Amino acid sequence: MKRQDILAGFEQTFERAATHTFFAPGRINLIGEHTDYNGGHVFPCAISLGNYAAIGQNERHSFRLYSANFPQDGIIELPLAELNAPKRHLWTDYFQGMARVMAQAGAKFTFGLDIYIHGNLPDGAGLSSSASLEMLVGTILNERYQANFAPLDLVKFGVKVENDYIGVNSGIMDQFAIEMGRANQAMLLDTNTLKYQYLPIKLADNVIVIMNTNKKRQLADSKYNERRHECEEAVARLQRGIDIKHLGELDAPTFDQYTYLLADPTSIKRARHAVLENQRTLRAARALEAGDLATFGRLVSASGVSLAYDYQVTGLELDTLVSNALKQPGVLGARMVGAGFGGCAIAIVAKAQVPDFISKVGAAYAHKIGYAANFYVADIADGTKELA
C-alpha cells in the first residue's frame, strides 16, 4: 500500500486534501507466546503490514472516522464532548477507547479531525490488528494535539483500552512491539520489569513466512480470558509453598519441585507452558544472537508443541499448517503465533525453498480444511510513525 493511495482515499471520502499521514505496523512474535500476562519474556518484532491513516483538521468539533476496511459503516461521527458515550460495538470503539483514556490522562482535544484509515493486516489473523489500530490512534492524537505522552505511555494506554474497555485481558506485548519496533530487529522484552533490548534478526539465507489459516477468531469471544484465569489460579496454588507473583519468575527445576501444589492436570499443563516457554524464549534469543539458527528453529518448533499440547490453543487449522510446514525441506522451525484458536502461524524457511514451500503446504491445507490459506514473507519494520 502506498502513501498516495491513502491520500487519495481521504480526498475521495472527505472531498478535500489531507494534511498528515501515519502508519502503525502489525507484529509477529518469534517466540514467547502467552507469556506476557504471566510476567515472562517475549521476543516480538513489527512487520511491514499494518494500518495507515490520512488526516485533516475539521471545524465540526468532532472526530469524523472512516475505514476503507469497513466501508459499509460509512463516516462515523464522534463529538469531542461525547467521548464517554457507550460503545457502539464497531471498529471505532478502539478509537473512542484510546481518546477517552488519553483525555483522562490530560490530553486536550481542542479541534476536530477527519481521519481516513486503511489497513492491509488480515482482520482476526493474530497479527495484532487491534493493537495496531490503538497505537495508530494514540500516535495521531499525541502528535496533532501535542499531548507529549512518551511512547511507553501510549503502550500502556492501549493495554488499558483492551483490558477495561474492549474486555480482553491481554498483556503488553502487542502494543509494545507495534509502538517500539525497529526495522530488522526483534525485541527481547521482560514483561514483568519492562526492560528490553533490541537484537538483530540475522537469518542468513532464511526468511520468515507468515501462514494465515483464514479462520478468524475474536479474542473476547475465545478462551483467551479463560487461559489467563487458569494461569492466575495456578499462581494462587503455587503461592501456598513459594513466594511468587507470576509464573515467569520460575525456572524449570523450581517449577518441577513445586508442581505437586497444583494437584490438577489442567493447572499443571497451563503453568508448565508458561514457565518453560519463558525459558525457551531466553534460550532462543541467545541462540539467534550467536547465529545458531538450528537451535533457534528447534526452540520455535518446541514452542508450537507446547502451545498445542499443554496450552491447547491451536486447533485443526493451525495444526495442519504447522505439521505440514515441518515436513518441508529447508524449514528450520514453525509454530502458531498470537492468541491461537485460528489466525496465523510462522515458519522459518530457506529463501530458495519458499515457492515450493508455499505450493506444498498450501495444497495440503486446502485438501484437508476445504479452503485456502494465505502466505506472506515477513518484512521486519519500524514501529508506529508519521509518514514523511
- Look at residue 140 and tell me if it is in a domain: yes
Give the predicted TM-score (pTM) of the model.
0.92
User: In whole angstroms, how large is the CA radius of gyration of the chain?
Assistant: 21
pLDDT at 222: 67
Last residue of a domain, one of 198, 232, 252: 198
Residue closest to 330 by CA, chosen among 360, 354, 296, 361: 354
Rounded to the nearest 5°, which phi and psi values hold at 344?
-120, 160
- Look at residue 387 and tell me if it is in a domain: no
Q: What range does the domain containing 22 cover?
A: 3-198
Same domain, 174 and 228: no
Last residue of a domain, one of 198, 228, 257: 198
Last residue of a domain, one of 150, 182, 198: 198
Same domain, 211 and 190: no
- Look at residue 350 and tell me if it is in a domain: yes
Q: Find the catalytic residue in 36, 114, 174, 310.
A: 174
CATH number of 205's domain: 3.30.70.890
CB-CB neighbours of 128 under 10 Å: 31
CB-CB neighbours of 193 under 10 Å: 8
Same domain, 14 and 47: yes
| Count of domains for the chain | 2
Grid coordinates standing for 22? 501515519
CB-CB neighbours of 104 under 10 Å: 12
- pLDDT tens, 21-63? 999 999 999 999 999 999 999 999 999 999 999 999 999 999 9
Same domain, 97 and 44: yes
Same domain, 184 and 222: no
- Look at residue 370 and tell me if it is in a domain: yes
Residue closest to 234 by CA, chosen among 192, 273, 272, 267: 267
Same domain, 32 and 178: yes
CATH number of 38's domain: 3.30.230.10
Same domain, 243 and 102: no
Q: What is the residue-level pLDDT of the chain in tens, covering all 388 positions?
A: 789 999 999 999 999 999 999 999 999 999 999 999 999 999 999 999 999 999 999 999 999 999 999 999 999 999 999 999 999 999 999 999 999 999 999 999 999 999 999 999 877 677 788 999 999 999 999 999 999 999 999 999 999 999 999 988 888 999 999 999 999 999 999 999 999 999 999 999 999 999 999 987 665 456 888 999 999 999 999 999 999 999 999 999 999 999 999 999 999 999 999 999 999 999 999 999 999 999 999 999 999 999 999 999 999 999 999 999 999 999 999 999 988 888 999 999 999 999 999 999 999 999 999 999 999 998 999 999 999 8
Q: 174 an active-site residue?
A: yes
